[in-house]
A and B are shown apart, each in its own frame.
Chain A
Amino acid sequence: MNNILLVHFKRFGDLVSTSQLVAGIKSQYPHTDISLVCFDEFSSVAKLIPGLKKVYTINRESLLTLTKGQLYSTGFAIDELRKKVLVLSKESWDKVINLSNDRASSHFCSWLSTSNPQIKVKGIRIDQHNLAVASDFWALTYNDILTRSTTNSPFNFRDIWSRMVGVEETEKNCLLTNQRNEDTVSRNFNKIREVQGKIVGIQVHCSVDDKGFSDEFSAEICDQLSVKSFVPILVIAPNDVERGRAKTIADTCLTRPIIVECDFTALSSVVKNIDALITPDTVTKHFADAWNTPCLEISLGSSPTFKQATLNPKSLLIIPTDRKLASVNISDVMNALNLLFNPNPNSYVESNACNIYSPVRLSSQTVYQSRSTKRNDKVELDRHASVVLLNKIANINDTNEKEIRTIALTDIYDNKRAKQWFADVEETVTAQTRDVLHAIRSLLQMKENPKKSSAFIESLDRLLSFTEQLNTATISAVIFRSKLESLPPTTFADNARSLEALLFEYKANLQSCLNLVQSWEVELNNSRKENRSQRQQSI
């Protein structure tokens, strides 16, 4: 790794999350130059990432104006983009890493690598046959598994990035601050802390309505924090909308909270110097992770939850079962905050409408452990088993199975539901195995007589129907589909050989899944027997 370009066409939060990866690469390969290309409108946070040699920007808004405005010819927009990217193509990149995995970034990476075949692309690119091609198993997981899992993703995207790139993230001092801001904030906050107590930030605004807090909710939190001798501060961006909201909240509160208005540079210092942050899924949460500041993330609405939740083991995640803010009681928030400030691995939070999780850092990945007294066992077992299965399929040395299994099988709340999950997975895997064997048989027949294709197509259809849902039992089907769709158009004989290999791989993955689930079931039964005998002995 000498000269790397990170391609990232996503928004503020995702860009801030790149900071730990950059720090990781720099720590493992200190002499590597890392640059980043992003959209101009989000570049203000990219400039806070230390270790970047250069931030290249593409002015999407200008391109959109030139394209959508009837006054101007689209030719001008094409020219403008051409000039921007030609600068990038003149650099001698050794590796281009696609972190955003969308169509734009994939074509961009392909354009760079087609222009210069020496460049290695990590992540997704589009090949000459117009097919999406993953550079490795983790790129495939990022593109085909994480994008399909809405709320129950097995992996956080940051873990996938570091596996894709092959480095361990570094989690210290991952953002820049401005020294003057830093001095002012730390001096003022220390004074407040000495006199009044711990400072808890509340992120007031979220760009997506269903993910954010209401003003009433923020005001209630402020009041409760004041009652418990914390110092609430409302964190807002310097614009009229957020100023207005902060004023409304402050006017409603019994004790007026401090309002801190800051741009991204100042936000970096603010988040670094508070004791905790209460936030929905916003960019501020990613700032907190970059500074290791504990946060209480309340995951609402369309938030993709585990896919991009806080990874800080000192943080907690609150997820209402219906994903609505109305279901979050202030008492849940305060109980979780109590657990956050007084961490105890054996403490759980009692809540009827919310699930509480804490990130647990294992080797090269984070898993989310339920901290609720009443957890949904089916969901928990499935998510944890998916992680281990993906690790096994990827053939990595340390699958973390023992640790993850312990987290998954400890504190089963509803044994009946847990048993049902085992039965469901086994049934779905068995059905798939039957169809895979049928597909292999009919493929072999088709090789001898190409006219006998209908039986093969039928069994293939049945297999692909398993990809409609994503869970432990169907992960193998999703991987199969992804690889199938990336097969280049070649001769029938070559295609048949590739298909056969994919089907055998699919079958092996199903077997891994079955072995995993059965071993966990045995483990669960043994531990229950052990518990029973311990109880009988004590009686």
Chain B
Amino acid sequence: MALVTADNKPIINKSKIEVKKSKVETPVPVVDGIHLHSIYNPAKEAETFIGKYNENLSKQNSVLVLGLGFGYHVWQLESELRKHHQTWNIYVIEPNTQMTEEFKKFRPVEFSSNTRVISGENVSDYYDDINLVKFMASKPLVIPHAASFNLSEGFFKNFMSYQASTKLEDVSRKLEDTNLGKYLLSLGEPDEDITNVLRQLNLKKYLNANDHFLSFFNSVTSGEMK
């Protein structure tokens, strides 16, 4: 049985993955009787599916794909992006690690180095990855693969509405510069909001180099320079 969210959407459907052959002899994963791609011609179906995004893809070269399945749609997406752009970036999010394993086993399509597949069940782990964070911050075009999305709708909703912790403790831990992280943590209570901690720097009676740097950061990002 799949775990569900409050509104009864499955977080990740982990039912056994069955792999069938399509009419054109390509593998198609099936979960709880649901075919993740066309049982007739997955590549053709992917072409029609990606075709709906043609106009957006001519302007956007960063695409976030929600759901891997067996990747036919991602492969088609790559060939469409290749027509419009010299470089592009695709991130594929697949919460079901078993699906990723099956994909690797069958290898129905090969992706270029511009495509990165990330798999895992824990949403916050994704947002620990600075490369994915930078990619998300570039406001990519989001393409949900409907069949995969529906299987893990709860996960994808959590993924897209994730709220990073603003607690001083969590923010400090994210810093690569651990000395600065420790210093930042010393400026307030562990569960204090980072915005408040940075704002309080204005009231400090004595400033060191770290305080100047953090005050600089706060001035640039607090909107006072608009």
Query: Which residues of chain A have a CB within 8 Å of any CB of chain B?
Result: 9, 58, 60, 62-79, 81-82, 85, 102-104, 107-108, 110-111, 114-115, 126-130, 489
Contact = CB atoms under 8 A, between A and B. Distances in A.
Contact of B212 (A58, A63, A75, A107): A107
A114 B175 CA distance: 22
Contacts of B205: 129-130, 489
A81 B170 CA distance: 18
Interface in B202-220: 202-209, 212-217, 219-220
Given A70-B162, A82-B177, A76 B204 contact: no
Nearest to A100: B225
Contact of A126 (B172, B203, B212): B212
Interface stretch (B68-76, B129-137, B144-152): B129-137
Contacts of A103: 215, 219, 224
Contacts of A58: 220
22 contacts: A58-B220, A65-B137, A66-B133, A68-B221, A71-B133, A73-B164, A73-B165, A73-B171, A78-B184, A79-B130, A81-B217, A82-B175, A82-B176, A82-B177, A82-B213, A104-B216, A111-B209, A114-B208, A114-B209, A114-B212, A129-B206, A130-B206
B111 to A, nearest CB: 25
A78 B163 CA distance: 18
Contacts of A115: 209
Contact of A67 (B162, B174, B221): B221
B97 interface: no
Contact of A62 (B137, B170, B175): B137
Given A85-B216, A107-B212, A126-B212, 5 more contacts: A76-B174, A79-B175, A103-B215, A111-B216, A130-B207
B180 A72 contact: no
Nearest to A102: B225
Contact of B202 (A78, A127, A130): A130
Contacts of A77: 217, 221
B223 to A, nearest CB: 8
The winner among A77, A107, A129 for most chain B CB atoms within 10 A is: A107
Contacts of B162: 70-71
Given A76-B174, A81-B217, A126-B207, A70 B163 contact: yes
Chain B interface size, as a band, is 35 or more
A82 B216 CA distance: 10
B136 A71 contact: yes
B194 interface: yes
Contacts of B49: none
Interface string B178-216: 001100100000000010000000111111110011111
A85 B219 CA distance: 15
Given A114-B208, A130-B206, A66 B137 contact: yes
A107 B216 contact: yes
A460 B217 CA distance: 36
Contacts of B220: 9, 58, 60, 63, 81, 104
B5 interface: no
Contacts of A107: 212-213, 215-216, 219
Contacts of A9: 220, 225
The winner among A58, A73, A128 for most chain B CB atoms within 10 A is: A73
B44 interface: no
A110 B209 CA distance: 8
Contact of A102 (B177, B217, B219, B221): B219
B92 to A, nearest CB: 18
A104 B221 CA distance: 10
A114 B214 CA distance: 13
B173 interface: yes
A73 B171 CA distance: 6
Interface of B: 127, 130, 133-134, 136-137, 162-166, 170-177, 180-181, 184, 194, 202-209, 212-217, 219-221, 224-225
The winner among A74, A115, A128, A489 for most chain B CB atoms within 10 A is: A74
B157 to A, nearest CB: 13
A58 B173 CA distance: 23
A130 B205 CA distance: 6
Contacts of B224: 102-104
A527 B215 CA distance: 56
Contacts of A60: 220-221, 225
A81 B184 CA distance: 15
B136 A72 contact: yes
| 3 residue pairs, one from A and one from B, having the closest CB atoms | A75-B174, A104-B219, A111-B212
A75 B202 contact: no
A31 to B, nearest CB: 30
Given A78-B217, A79-B175, A71 B127 contact: yes
A65 B213 CA distance: 19
Contacts of A129: 205-207
Contact of A71 (B163, B176, B214): B163
A75 B133 contact: no
B130 A76 contact: yes
Contact of A63 (B172, B206, B215, B221): B221
Contacts of A74: 164, 166, 171, 174, 194
A256 B165 CA distance: 58
Contacts of B184: 78
Contacts of A130: 202-207
A137 B3 CA distance: 69
Contacts of A69: 136-137
Contact of A79 (B166, B174, B207, B214): B174
A355 to B, nearest CB: 31
Nearest to B212: A111
Contacts of A62: 134, 137
Contacts of B209: 111, 114-115
A76 B215 contact: no
A107 B164 CA distance: 27
A49 to B, nearest CB: 21
The winner among B137, B162, B175 for most chain A CB atoms within 10 A is: B137
Nearest to B136: A71
Contacts of A66: 133, 137
A77 B180 CA distance: 13
A73 B213 contact: no
A157 to B, nearest CB: 17
Contacts of A63: 217, 220-221
A78 B180 contact: yes
Contacts of B225: 9, 60, 102, 104
